Amino acid sequence: MSNHARPEVEIVAVGNELLTGDTLDTNGRFLTRAVEPLGLAPRFKHVAGDREEDVILVLRDAASRADVVFVTGGLGPTEDDLTRKSVARAFDRRLIFHAELVPPIRDYFARAGQEMPPDNERQALLPSGAKPVPNPLGTAPGFILEDGRTSVIVLPGVPREMRAMYEASVHPYLASRFGGGDTWAVRTVMTTGVSESKVNELLGGLLDLSRNPQVGLTASDLGVDLRIRARAASRDAARAMIDALVEEARARLGPAIYSETGEGLEQVVGRLLAERKKTLSIAESCTGGLISERITSVSGSSAYFDRGIVTYSNESKEAMLDVPRPVLIAHGAVSPETACAMAEGIRRSTETDFGLSVTGIAGPTGGTAGKPVGLVYVALAVRGGETRVKEHRFPGDREMVRARSAQAALDLLRLYLTGC
Amino acid sequence: MSNHARPEVEIVAVGNELLTGDTLDTNGRFLTRAVEPLGLAPRFKHVAGDREEDVILVLRDAASRADVVFVTGGLGPTEDDLTRKSVARAFDRRLIFHAELVPPIRDYFARAGQEMPPDNERQALLPSGAKPVPNPLGTAPGFILEDGRTSVIVLPGVPREMRAMYEASVHPYLASRFGGGDTWAVRTVMTTGVSESKVNELLGGLLDLSRNPQVGLTASDLGVDLRIRARAASRDAARAMIDALVEEARARLGPAIYSETGEGLEQVVGRLLAERKKTLSIAESCTGGLISERITSVSGSSAYFDRGIVTYSNESKEAMLDVPRPVLIAHGAVSPETACAMAEGIRRSTETDFGLSVTGIAGPTGGTAGKPVGLVYVALAVRGGETRVKEHRFPGDREMVRARSAQAALDLLRLYLTGC
């Protein structure tokens, strides 16, 4: 039995490609966040390859400790897909053929105009006592097997199938089993432009892990995220506690916060542009198309995004962006003057409301003592307004400098659009 | 004791951010590949949070089974960083202060013009009997602790520190412990433009898992990779076996193979352009800058990449790329005719050797019965040559369609450059 007050959760991912790392597991992250509102949090994650004895070993270990064991992967129709068999053996069950599970699988193939291959009948085998979990998006049904106090919840490895099945069937099951006590609410608040140590300093006591709500920090190239979890007797009460904490965080962090809903910066900027019916064009040098790529990754971006230009050579900066040769000669391609000229040139030639530019040295070569690798200028030209430019000195390798530059450019636009 | 002939390996990653999935662990993948030439392969990976009793539990379990246990993370200078303490307790050792480990840490800070904070002295504590592993890129030394037949190898979680320490100190140690028997060689061969089931069919018996060399397939949006592992008495013999297998794979897969060295398609295309002293410009619609972003992610790409243009509107296609209005009206923005006109327009206006273009419907909106989401045209204009165009119908969501479109465009150029 668990010696913790809180129910314990472990996650087991099955698959050689996960064990080698050729595929990065994202199901664990989804499940971690999905069970949070129930007050549950995984204690361990395990990855086992496609070997029956290994799956059995790790399953038995996990079930000996945990109240809930999630198993993802290995439910396909072939001999290699051994999760069904392994779960049955781990808990001394026989595999039972569920004839009622075959028609949905056959229907799945029929919708694609195909006949069901005979191998897929194997997916209708479940350990005795298991309750099937329907799969609306694929062929493999999942199942829930209760063994003593442990619920073993088995789902396919394909993320979209796993997610749909969790939402439709597993969450209600877990809520009915564990939903009696306190409820949890969670929110992610995203910041950029401020270092982790600065966020730490500004938030101070709010980060005390014994507090409720609890705040955790995660730093990446895009900024520092605050992960906030509150526990209360009702969902509304927990949410109100988070609201209060976010208000306090806002007072301390100010405009560094760009998202309180999980939206990325490209979505935030896109929404602000769409709401204000403004248009944008982009001139990139060291980021090589990354900013345009992020802006256009948002469906519907054609409403505000006109065009992007990636200029690597001085000639192309002159020809495409009207950057005056004397500016390039006097100040160089990586300078606040060139960044401003690029932003103004793209804005003017495309007749958009905003022109956004980046020029810098992403490395690993090209740096000098006066202009080291990581030196980056971002500039924003505004129809009928003054051009803004900002200097950055980013640490890290080429990929990191590019990622941080793109984020800084998008943030320059966000700050303008929100009146900062 | 292990009941397998081959030495067993397990990996333990420590950190709340890994347990929640906020950070995806890439160290496991590195270690898996790094130990392959020694004939070693991890049997399990585990993730534990920053809780001493959990780290101790998973460490003891792993050590009871494995000959090698890697532990990454939790070696920082703060109280939260509990890997040193947990390893000591798991194997009943005391923590010993190694005065000789302090100067390198102090030097690390001195190089950045800083004084060492007192907390960092904690990083000089190692379990008794452990041998330190120097960290040339950071402050935290690692260590190797031999407990019975198990080598517990403890390294920082920061990937670049972990990798440098593995290469310099851990690999030689493992080679001297396990290098006596057969040697392994590994190679990855990358293909694109052919489905996994087609690769399966073409390779046939080569995929038999009992063969040596063994071939595994991994499919992604970029194509299907062959992971080849050969076992032999010497490294040269193992490599020769791989050479022979790759030759056979080449005969069966032909020009679908784009890389036998681990290079990405943007690196392959960049190398081909540089060798031939050719230049490239790019006109993108649905990929939104992704192709330019990939081309410029390669250091030195300014030698062959002139500029990229992202045109979302019909007006910008006319203005920037000289796509004739009648072509747009008669055939639409997503058509082979427009793709060709885009490629020719960008090539002509930039006077480069090649013009590469993409136009398509990435979704989720914008599709019609005649032109569904996923319909994509890629075109290549060639100085003094004929323009090539290719139609694709890609499955999947916006991100997948964009990723596959960029890969298909780069591959069109590769096939031309290699005379296919």
Residues for chain A: how many in total? 420
User: Which helix (H) or strand (E) is B62 found in, with range?
Assistant: helix B52-65
**Beta strand extents in B343-399 (DSSP E only):** 354-360, 375-382, 388-393
- A interface mutation test: which of B207, B220, B306, B310 has the most A CBs within 10 A? B310
Amino acid in the structure at residue A222:
L
Closest residue of chain B to A48, computed from CA coordinates: B44
Domain residues for the domain of A235 are: 183-259
At B5 the pLDDT is 63
H-type helices in B102-189, by residue range? 102-111, 159-165, 171-178
Q: What is the pLDDT of residue A5?
A: 62
Residue B191 touches partner A, C-beta closer than 8 Å: no
| Residue A1: predicted pLDDT | 36
Write down which residue in B259, B289, B315 finishes a domain.
B259
Tell if the CB–CB gap between A310 and B302 is shorter than 8 Å.
no
Beta-carbon contacts of B386 under 8 Å, excluding residues fewer than 6 positions away, are none
Mean pLDDT of the B179-189 span? 83
CATH of the domain at B302: 3.90.950.20
Measured between beta carbons, the chain A residues lying within 8 angstroms of B350 are: 316
Q: What CA–CA distance (Å, rounded) separates B35 from A298?
A: 41
pLDDT value at residue A80? 72
**What pLDDT score does B3 carry?**
40
Mean pLDDT for A242-252 is 97
How large is the average pLDDT for residues B113-126?
87
Q: Which residue has the higher pLDDT, A172 or A79?
A: A172
Residue A119 has a pLDDT of: 83
pLDDT reported for residue A171: 94
Q: Are residues B236 and B283 in the same domain?
A: no
Instruction: Tell whether A307 and A195 lie within a shared domain.
Output: no
Measured between CA atoms, the residue of chain B closest to residue A315 is B306
Contact B287 A293 (CB under 8 A): yes
C-alpha distance from A187 to closest chain B C-alpha (Å): 13
Residue of higher predicted confidence among A238 and A180: A238
Looking only at the bridges linking them, the beta strands covering B280-284 and B305-311 are parallel
Q: What is the pLDDT of residues B128-141, one digit of tens each?
A: 999 999 998 888 89
Is the CB of residue B300 less than 8 Å away from at least one CB of chain A?
Answer: yes
Q: Is the peptide bond before B213 cis (omega within 30 degrees of 0)?
A: yes
Q: Is residue A108 situated within a structural domain?
A: yes
Residues of B in contact with A216 (CB under 8 A): 16
- Among A222, A192, A347, smallest CA distance to A290 is for A222
Q: How far is A99 from chain B (nearest CA, A)?
A: 29
Asked whether the predicted pLDDT for residue B22 surpasses 80, the reply is no
Q: Residue B276 has what pLDDT? A: 97
Task: List the CATH number of the domain containing B187.
Answer: 3.30.70.2860
Tokens representing B349 are 């206006």
Give residues 321 to 360 of A whose Cβ lies within 8 Å of B.
350
- Determine contact: B134 vs chain A, CB below 8 A: no
Q: Which one, of B64, B414, B48, lies nearest residue B264 by Cα? A: B414
CB contact under 8 A, B293 and A295: no
A135 and A61 in a common domain: yes
List B389's β-bridge partners, or say none. Answer: B379
A31 and A170 share one domain: yes
The amino acid occupying position B40 is: L
Is residue B2 a part of any domain in this protein?
no
Closest CA to A334 of A375, A365, A368: A375
Average pLDDT, chain A: 92
Q: Which residues contact A112 (CB under 8 A, 6 or more apart)?
A: none
Q: Which CATH number do you get for residue A102?
A: 3.40.980.10
- B315 with B379, same domain: the answer is yes
Residues 6+ apart with CB under 8 A from A67: A2, A7, A8, A9, A149, A150, A151, A178
A43 at B interface, C-beta within 8 A: yes
Cα B26 to chain center, whole Å? 9
Q: Does the structure show a pLDDT above 60 at B366?
A: yes
Tell whether B311 is covered by a domain. Answer: yes
* Mean pLDDT to the nearest integer, A248-274: 96
Q: Does A114 touch chain B (CB under 8 A)?
A: no
Nearest CA to B37 among B161, B187, B143? B187
Q: How far is B419 from chain A (nearest CA, A)?
A: 28
Q: Does B193 reside within a domain?
A: yes
- What is the mean predicted confidence (pLDDT) over A115-140? 91
Residues of B in contact with A23 (CB under 8 A): 218
Strands B214-220 and B223-232: antiparallel
CA distance linking residue A90 with residue A58, whole number of Å:
9
For A282, the enclosing helix (H) or strand (E) is strand A280-284
Mean pLDDT of B247-266: 96
* Lookup: tokens for B374: 């996923």
In this structure, are B168 and B144 located in the same domain? yes
How far CA B383 is from CA of A311, A312, B86, B269, B352, in Å, comes to 21, 21, 65, 17, 7
B48 φ, ψ (degrees, to nearest 5)? -125, 150
DSSP B213-265: SEEEEEEETTEEEEEEEEEESSHHHHHHHHHHHHHHHHHHHGGGEEESSS--H
Average of per-residue pLDDT across A268-281: 97
**Window 200-259 of A, Cβ < 8 Å to B:** 216, 218, 225, 227
Domain boundary among A127, A148, A178: A178
- State pLDDT tens for residues A173-200: 999 998 777 778 889 999 999 988 889 8
Give residue B54's pLDDT: 96
Confirm or reject contact between A269 and chain B (CB < 8 A): no
Domain membership of residue A1 (yes or no) is no
Partners of B32 on chain A (C-beta within 8 Å) are 19-21
Number of domains, chain A: 3
**For residue range A42-63, what is the model confidence (pLDDT) as tens digits?**
999 999 999 999 999 999 999 9
Residue B279 C-alpha, separation from nearest chain A C-alpha, in angstroms: 12
Note whether A139 and A170 are same-domain residues: yes
Same domain, B173 and B187: no
The fraction of chain A above a pLDDT of 90, given in percent, is 70
What is the pTM assigned to this prediction?
Answer: 0.81
Contacts of A310 in chain B (CB under 8 A): 282, 289, 292, 296, 307-310
Q: Is residue A363 over pLDDT 50? A: yes
pLDDT class of A279 with cuts at 50, 70, 90: very high
Based on the fold, state whether residues A283 and A341 are members of the same structural domain. Answer: yes
- Regarding whether B145 and B14 lie in a shared domain, the answer is yes
H or E element at residue B320: helix B314-321
In a domain, B249, yes or no: yes
The answer to whether residue A2 is domain-embedded is no
For chain A, give the percent of residues with pLDDT over 70: 99
What pLDDT digit, counting tens, does each position of B201-218 carry? 999 999 887 899 999 888
Q: Does residue A4 have a pLDDT over 60?
A: no
Is B75 contained in some domain?
yes
Instruction: Check if A288 contacts B (Cβ < 8 Å).
Output: yes
Q: Are B283 and B342 in contact (CB under 8 A)?
A: yes
Contact at CB, B292 and A313, closer than 8 angstroms: no
Checking ipTM against 0.90, whether it exceeds it is no
Domain's final residue, options A209, A232, A259: A259
Q: Which residue has the higher pLDDT, B107 or B71?
A: B71
Residues A293 and A382 in one domain: yes
The yes-or-no verdict on residue B4 having pLDDT over 60 is no
Q: What is the mean pLDDT of residues B58-83?
A: 92
Residues B54 and B146 in one domain: yes
Read out DSSP for A291-353?
HHHHHHTSTTGGGTEEEEEEE-SHHHHHHHH---HHHHHHH-SSSHHHHHHHHHHHHHHHT-S
Mean pLDDT estimate for chain B: 92
User: How many angstroms separate the CA atoms of A65 and A191, rounded?
Assistant: 37
Give the pLDDT mean for A86-92: 97
